[in-house]
Amino acid sequence: MVYQHIYKMWLFSLVERYGNFKEAANHANITRSALSQNLSVLENYLNKSLLVRERGSVSLTADGQSLLDKIQPILSQADDLAFNFSEESELKGSFKLGAYESLAVRFLPKLFTSFRRIYPNFKIDVVTSRTDSLVKLVNNGTLNMALVINGEGDSKIEEETVMVDSLGLYVCADKYCYTQDIEEIKEMGIAILSTPEDGQPYYYKKFLQKIPDDFKVTLTCDNFEVIRSITASGAVVGLLPTKVASQSSYELKKIWPTEEDIVKVSEHRVSLVYRKNTDKRIINLIKKVVLVE
């Protein structure tokens, strides 16, 4: 019966979300071996190959993507049911949340809407900054929680990966197409993040080193959303995270890289770091908002 395999389908969705068995197994609180066995049983039941297993990562087959599209609404409804029947006592007071700026732009509108609906008497104070600063503020108790890039936990705070992203070079699809003369596109120049005092993230610097020399940097800015906006105007090639590029009101098309090994160089985690005594209702609601994007 199919209902016996709902748990395995949830595990399958975790593998797609995290991009590897290790973090998916950690989230599910099972071993990688148990995760692999469950997925094999699911594939045998469906008589379909769902995953392409590679060293250190996995990707979906066409059948796997089709299954994911069908089960995501079901899993989302199950999450809603569990959340609504968990703890109904009202949250009051305030909560201090930090967020990397681009993550704040993406997630806080939905987050505030959810909190206002469920906990109308609960106040959220928001601080935006870079990952290192936010993690320190969570560690010393100034913040309760933060959404960051590649955050790390320690003896005082927990860390959970909620999403994996990667970088690419993007152009405005309304003005340029992939079949257009690539030399003309290269002459537009690239817009990249400016270098702050504490330097650029390691994954970002490694990606910059991989960009072909005939692409020239012509604009620097300290904000991904500004770069995305200028890219959408057709003025530049934007170096953007995939998730940020997808938020544009104009379609942005990735022109580079196409090689999987270069894509892997730029992979980075969207992490939730929080104090160990943080109310689980808050953690679950924030994770739900981020994960259903």
Residue 185 belongs to domain with CATH number? 3.40.190
- Let me know whether 77 and 216 are in one domain: no
Six-digit token pair at 53?
A: 């297993």
Strand 167-172 relative to strand 252-256, pairing: antiparallel
- Let me know whether 219 and 281 are in one domain: no
- Let me know whether 154 and 66 are in one domain: no
The CATH number assigned to the domain holding 24 equals 1.10.10.10
Q: How many domains does the chain have?
A: 3
Burial of 146 (0-12, 13-18, 19+ CB in 10 A): buried
Q: For position 84, what pLDDT does the model report?
A: 56
- In angstroms, the CA 19 to CA 27 distance is 12
pLDDT tens, residue order, the chain (293 aa): 677 788 888 888 888 877 888 878 877 778 888 888 889 989 998 998 998 887 667 888 989 889 988 888 888 777 665 555 554 556 777 889 999 988 998 888 988 888 888 888 888 899 999 898 999 999 888 999 999 999 887 777 889 888 889 999 999 887 765 545 677 888 889 999 998 877 888 999 999 999 999 899 999 999 999 999 999 998 999 999 998 998 877 789 899 998 888 999 999 999 999 988 788 888 888 887 776 65
- Let me know whether 183 and 199 are in one domain: yes
- Let me know whether 112 and 29 are in one domain: no
- The DSSP symbol for 274 reads E
> Bridge partners of 97?
126, 145
Q: For position 83, what pLDDT does the model report?
A: 53
Boundaries of domain holding 132: 93-161+269-291
Q: Identify residue 219 by its one-letter amino acid code.
A: L
- Let me know whether 75 and 127 are in one domain: no
Assess contact for 126 and 98: CB atoms under 8 A.
yes
CB neighbour list of residue 69: distance below 8 Å, 6 or more residues apart? none
- Let me know whether 63 and 104 are in one domain: no
- Let me know whether 29 and 48 are in one domain: yes
Beta-carbon-side half-sphere exposure of residue 8 (alpha carbons within 13 Å): 20
Q: Identify residue 103 by its one-letter amino acid code.
A: L
- Let me know whether 173 and 239 are in one domain: yes
- Let me know whether 250 and 114 are in one domain: no
- Let me know whether 176 and 247 are in one domain: yes
- The DSSP symbol for 66 reads H
CB neighbour list of residue 24: distance below 8 Å, 6 or more residues apart? 11, 14, 15, 17, 18, 35
